[in-house]
A and B are shown apart, each in its own frame.
Chain A
Amino acid sequence: MTKQRAKILVIIPCYNEEASIQNLVNDIQSVKKQHDLPIDILVVNDCSKDNTLQVIKSLDCLYLDLPVNLGIGGGMQSGYKYAYRNGYQFAVQMDGDGQHPAIELPKLLQEAQTNKADVIIGSRFLEGKGFQSSFFRRLGITYFKWLNKFLIGQTIHDSTSGFRVFNRKTLELVNQYYPDEYPEPEAIVLFGMRKLIMKEVPVEMCERQGGVSSINSFRAIYYMFKVSLGIIFVYIRLKGKWKM
């Protein structure tokens, strides 16, 4: 027999985050107790090369240990699949590097539980508080904002935000398909095309507390190119109702 599962699963993808993962999980646990939230925490270890796995094992959380490195998209999808198969009503994505403060969690969940939207996105730009990212990143994010608006007609201010809540309808979709590399902006177009309702909630984000970002300056151009291609192809694929 397995233990009783909660209603909400918080998924934390992790790659070499030994420095920050412990604080994050403890923060979430204390927010959970404080607000009496029905959440389970699932840490996805994407084949970290440091001590992340040992740290996770010592924490009060569920974890998946991927046998090969899949990247952020493949790692997140394993979490979404897990949530879908185990009957969770909502899944929350939170980055493992401590950029997403646990105290913002109740706000996002409250919004999700009103059932007015399928996808809730924590956005750092709505109120402009907290860490706002660098100039070039904001430029890239503005570009995605316009691209999204042009393609799906919805304005998402922070399309690269990895602080998101999905309901079960969304989980069913991402259980089947989720982009592999740099999935966040592409997923927004996917959701828009499938007529899911997205809503942004203002949150404060922090600067990463450890580890190295998956996007460094050398990869920035590749990132923009890859994500644009992904967005355009997911759009064409769904526009023509081609089979995924």
Chain B
Amino acid sequence: MENVVPFKIQIISILATLGFMYFIVRQIIRGKLREEYSIVWFACTIVLLIFSFWRKGLEQISLALGVFYPPSLLFLLAIGAIVTFLVHLSIVNSKLQSQIKDLAHEVAFLKEKQLNESTIK
């Protein structure tokens, strides 16, 4: 196996990665994605870029780790990253839910107070 990945797919993956990075940057500029959530996506993009350029890298790392089929290492890492990020999103979600609950309580108290004051006047 001369190359782990053929030349054509290398060009495609570099372009796709750069396109993805452009998309992320544009979302941040438009204020649709917060910077703290973009860090993980940038990290992923950079890893993808490295392997797009360094074609033998994946094969070398796989062999060093005793993985005989290099793409499976890639899948393993990708799945690991996805699961980690999903857990992170669940944590963010739980925090948001608890904050919304507190806010809903305060809104209800304010409405009640306003009503009380208006009936006494």
Binding site for B on A (CB under 8 A): 1-3, 44, 62-68, 70, 74, 77-78, 81-82, 85, 180
Contacts and interface: CB of A to CB of B under 8 A. Distances in A.
- Chain B residues touching A, majority SS: helix
Contacts of A64: 108-109, 111-112
Interface residues of B, number: 12
Contact of B120 (A1, A66, A67): A1
A220 B108 CA distance: 31
Contact of B111 (A1, A65, A70, A74): A65
A-B pairs with the 8 shortest C-beta distances? A64-B108, A78-B105, A67-B107, A74-B101, A66-B108, A68-B104, A66-B104, A67-B104
Contacts of A74: 101, 104-105
Interface string B94-121: 0000001100110111011000110010
A146 B117 CA distance: 49
Contacts of B111: 64-65, 67
Contacts of B107: 66-67
B100 A81 contact: no
A3 B115 CA distance: 13
B108 A78 contact: yes
B119 to A, nearest CB: 9
B108 A67 contact: yes
A68 B112 contact: no
A63 B104 contact: no
23 contacts: A2-B116, A2-B117, A3-B116, A44-B108, A62-B112, A63-B112, A64-B109, A64-B111, A65-B112, A66-B104, A66-B105, A67-B104, A70-B101, A70-B104, A74-B104, A77-B101, A78-B104, A78-B105, A78-B109, A81-B105, A81-B109, A82-B109, A82-B112
